[in-house]
Amino acid sequence: MAIRDYRTSLKQFLPVEGGRIAYTLAGDPSAPPLIFIHGWLSHGGIWRTLAETLQQKYSCVMVDLLGLGDSDKPSDGDYSIAAQGRRVLALADALGIRRFTLIGHSMGGQIALCIASQLAPARVVALVDVSGVATGKLMPTVRNIFLPRMRMALGQPWVWKLTRWYNQWPVMARLEFSNWFYNSHQIPFADWAIDRHYALQPDMHTSAYRAGQAIMAADLSAYLSSIRVPTLVLFGAQDAVVPVREGEVVAECVPGARLKLLDNCGHFPMLEKAESTRAVIKAFL
């Protein structure tokens, strides 16, 4: 199946702890499995450019985490990093996948690290951590602007409605998401329209706020040395969402881990430096 559109029409759904999660499959199911885990305010389709290539040799599973994407968004859900990791494992079980390679971005990298170090280390074949959180650290813009605004919207929903309204205009949207990319003007505005759609869903501010809290509550540094699989850490050198130091911590703590920095690149290497990201990950795999 070619990967073109990640909206609900292509999604399948699985009941898990806390609700239903959505997922997308691509490639030959008998090929070696790759499980892709997206980040905060994101969705499985963030991997579209990478999975388009890797599905030729691998079975690709792109999950929408509970509270995000097209998955259920219960206001009282458990959005801890460990709970999200258990849901990823439940999806692997449902698909009959015993062992797999994990590719995680941002919060998804944190979840992948949790699975590989604590939840199911024997099931992980290899690990790719793209702009991933390791110790719960986020840049000040996220901590001091985005999360407080979502907290405010819990009691005053008009705050989230206003945010969604003014992001209709390109100049405002580029300002709103300026920390995503090193230079958002280098990426055609239409090319990340679907990503803005999923980041600003009308029913998401409660689950997204709690997921953001979960990121900062999970410090995995004490467990990283137990990871014993080949590990690639890939960061944009100008990441303005997750400090590059988070990637350095993983590279220092995981035996044999390799850190690759992409210059002139922010938080989304798979969109900003798609060709370089594909090349580095393909070579690692």
Give me the CATH code for the 8-284 domain, please. 3.40.50.1820
What is the CA 220 to chain-centroid distance, rounded?
A: 17
Domain boundaries, the chain: 8-284
Write down the pTM of the prediction: 0.95
Q: Please list the pLDDT of the chain residue by residue as tens digits (285 residues).
A: 333 444 444 899 999 999 999 999 999 999 999 999 999 999 999 999 999 999 999 999 999 999 999 999 999 999 999 999 999 999 999 999 999 999 999 999 999 999 999 999 999 999 999 999 999 999 999 999 999 999 999 999 999 999 999 999 999 999 999 999 999 888 899 999 999 999 999 989 999 999 999 999 999 999 999 999 999 999 999 999 999 999 999 999 999 999 999 999 999 999 999 999 999 999 999
Catalogue the E-assigned strands of the chain: 12-16, 19-26, 33-37, 59-64, 100-105, 124-130, 231-236, 258-262
* pLDDT of amino acid 1: 34
Minimal CA–CA distance to 3: which of 40, 36, 39?
A: 36
Tokens 């698909």 -> residue: 95
Q: Please work out, in degrees rounded to the nearest 5, the angle formed at the alpha carbon of residue 235 by the alpha carbons of 39 and 40.
A: 10
* pLDDT of amino acid 3: 36
Q: Please work out, in degrees rounded to the nearest 5, the angle formed at the alpha carbon of residue 29 by the alpha carbons of 6 and 90.
A: 75
Q: Which amino acid is at 246?
A: E
Residue 33, strand partner residues: 59
